[in-house]
C-alpha cells in the first residue's frame, strides 16, 4: 500500500539550476520518509513511466532527472540525433505524480575545470563496454553526479539496460554510496519488442522484424534452461538473426551481476544481446530458467 502523498506540493516543480534543486529537495524531504530518483535522458515512454510509477508507488518523494549526457556518447555516435521532447516529458511526469523534475544544462553538469570521472571496471568491461568505449565511464560519472546533487535514498533503473543496472549497483557498493538501487522489469510492446527511445528510428519494415530479437532470446533461454548446449544454441540464434538482417554485436549467456560469460544455465544466468537493424542498435536481455 503506497504511503499517502505529500500535500504541500500538489504541483510538480521543475529545477534547472543547482540552487533550485537544493531548495526543492529540502522541501520534499520535509515530512517524507524517503527521496527517490529516476535518472533519464528524456523522450519518455512507457518504460520510463514504469520507473516513475515504481518510485511514486513506494510513497517516496520522486525526483526525475532529464539530461542527455554527452559524456556517454562516443564521438562516432550521433548525440544531436538523440530524441528530445521537453513538453511531452513534463506532461508525462506530471501525470505520473512525479514531484520534481531536475533538468540541468551541460554547463551545470560539467562546469569548466572538472577533472574527475568515475571509471568502472568489472561488470563494465565486456559487451557494451567494449562495443562503446567510454560509454560506462560517461554513464557512471553522470549518475554519480546525480546522486551527489539529489542525494536520493533510492534510485530506479530499468532492467532493459541490464549491464548499466549492474554497473550502477557495483558502483554504489564499491563507493559506499548511501542509497539503494532498484531494478524495474523491462516494458515490452505486445509483440515482445523492448521499449526504447530509439525504436522511433526503425523503418516500418525494420519495426516488423525487430521483435525477432526478443523471440530469439526467449527461444534460446528456454532451450538452454531445458538442458540444451548453450554454445550450439547461441550460435544458432546468432545465425538466425543474421539471416533476418540483424548485425549481431553479441548474444551471450552471462552471470547476471558480473556479466562474465558462462557455459551452462545457473540461477543467476541471463541472456544478453545487442544487434543492429538499419541505423538502430537494439539491446535486450532475459533471465534463463
Ligand atoms: O539509461 C539512461 O537513460 C542513461 O544511461 C542514464 C542512466 C540516465 C544516465 O545518463
**Which residues approach ligand 1 with their CB closer than 6 A?**
39-41, 69, 72, 139, 142-143, 161, 164
Residue 259 inside a domain? The answer is yes
Please state the atom number of ligand 1 nearest to the C-alpha of residue 40. 8
Any catalytic annotation for residue 48? yes
Domain count for the chain, please give it: 2
Atom of ligand 1 at shortest range from CA of 68: 10
Q: Is residue 267 assigned to a domain?
A: yes
Per the domain annotation, does 191 fall within a domain?
no
**Shared domain check, 224 and 136:** no
Note whether 265 and 177 are same-domain residues: no
CATH at 236 = 3.30.1300.10
| Closest listed residue to residue 139, CA positions, set 39, 241, 227 | 39
Exactly one of 13, 45, 48, 176 is catalytic; name it: 48
The answer to the question of residue 2 being in a domain is: no
Q: Which domain holds residue 261?
A: 197-287
For residue 115, the CA-to-ligand 1 centroid distance in Å is 21
Whole-number Cα distances in Å, 283 to 62, 111, 140, 226, 248: 27, 32, 19, 24, 10
Tell me which residue has its CA closest to atom 1 in ligand 1: 40
46 and 125 co-located in one domain: yes
Residue 31 confidence (pLDDT):
74
Q: Which of 37, 38, 41 to mutate to test the pocket of ligand 1 (most atoms within 8 A of CB)?
A: 41
Q: What is the pLDDT of residue 5?
A: 44
**Are 75 and 175 found together in one domain?**
yes
DSSP 83-111: ---HHHHHHHHHHHT--EEE---HHHHS-
What string of pLDDT tens digits covers the 289 residues of the chain? 334 444 334 689 999 999 999 999 999 999 788 999 999 999 999 999 999 999 999 999 999 999 999 999 988 888 999 999 999 999 999 999 999 999 999 999 999 999 999 999 999 999 999 999 999 999 999 999 999 999 999 999 999 999 999 999 999 999 999 999 999 999 999 999 999 999 999 999 999 999 999 999 999 999 999 999 999 999 999 999 999 999 999 999 999 999 999 999 999 999 999 999 999 999 999 999 7
142 and 238 inside one domain: no
- The pLDDT value recorded for residue 10 is 65
Atom 9 (ligand 1) nearest CA: 139
The pLDDT score that the predictor gives to residue 205 is 97
Instruction: Say how far apart CA 138 and CA 210 lie, in whole Å.
Output: 28
Q: Are residues 105 and 132 in the same domain?
A: yes
Model's pTM, two decimal places? 0.96
For the CA of 161, the closest atom of ligand 1 is 1
C-alpha distances (whole Å) from 252 to each of 46, 135, 165, 178, 273 are 27, 20, 17, 33, 6
Same domain, 146 and 274: no
Which residues on adjacent β-strands are paired with residue 283? 274
d(CA 89, CA 67): 12
Return the C-alpha cell found at 212.
525477432
Residue 172 within any structural domain of the chain: yes
Nearest CA to ligand 1 atom 2: 40
Are 176 and 210 within one domain?
no
Amino acid at each position: 500500500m503506497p504511503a499517502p502523498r505529500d500535500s504541500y506540493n500538489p504541483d510538480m516543480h521543475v529545477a534547472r539550476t543547482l540552487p533550485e534543486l537544493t531548495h526543492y529537495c529540502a522541501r520534499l524531504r520535509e515530512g517524507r520518509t524517503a527521496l527517490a530518483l529516476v535518472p533519464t535522458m528524456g523522450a519518455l515512454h512507457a518504460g520510463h513511466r514504469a520507473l516513475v510509477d515504481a518510485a511514486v508507488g513506494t510513497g517516496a518523494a520522486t525526483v526525475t532527472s532529464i539530461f542527455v549526457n554527452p559524456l556517454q556518447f562516443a564521438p562516432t555516435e550521433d548525440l544531436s540525433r538523440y530524441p528530445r521532447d521537453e513538453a511531452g516529458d513534463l506532461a508525462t511526469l506530471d501525470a505520473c505524480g512525479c514531484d520534481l523534475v531536475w533538468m540541468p544544462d551541460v554547463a551545470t553538469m560539467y562546469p569548466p575545470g572538472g577533472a574527475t570521472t568515475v571509471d568502472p571496471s568489472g561488470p563494465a568491461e565486456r559487451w557494451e563496454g567494449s562495443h562503446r568505449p567510454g560509454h560506462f565511464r560517461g554513464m557512471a560519472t553522470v549518475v554519480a553526479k546525480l546522486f551527489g546533487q539529489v542525494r536520493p535514498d533510492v534510485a530506479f533503473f530499468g532492467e532493459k539496460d541490464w549491464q548499466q543496472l549492474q554497473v550502477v549497483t557495483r558502483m554504489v557498493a564499491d563507493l559506499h554510496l548511501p542509497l539503494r538501487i532498484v531494478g524495474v522489469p523491462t516494458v515490452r510492446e505486445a509483440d515482445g519488442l523492448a521499449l526504447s527511445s530509439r525504436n522511433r528510428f526503425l523503418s516500418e519494415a525494420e519495426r516488423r522484424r525487430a521483435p525477432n530479437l526478443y523471440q530469439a532470446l526467449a527461444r534460446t533461454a528456454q532451450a538452454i534452461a531445458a538442458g540444451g548446449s548453450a554454445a550450439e544454441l547461441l550460435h544458432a540464434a546468432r545465425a538466425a538473426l543474421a539471416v533476418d538482417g540483424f548485425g549481431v554485436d553479441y548474444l551471450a549467456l552471462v552471470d547476471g551481476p558480473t556479466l562474465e560469460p558462462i557455459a551452462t544455465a545457473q540461477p543467476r544466468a541471463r541472456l544478453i544481446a545487442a544487434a543492429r537493424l538499419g541505423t538502430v542498435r537494439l539491446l535486450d536481455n532475459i533471465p534463463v530458467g
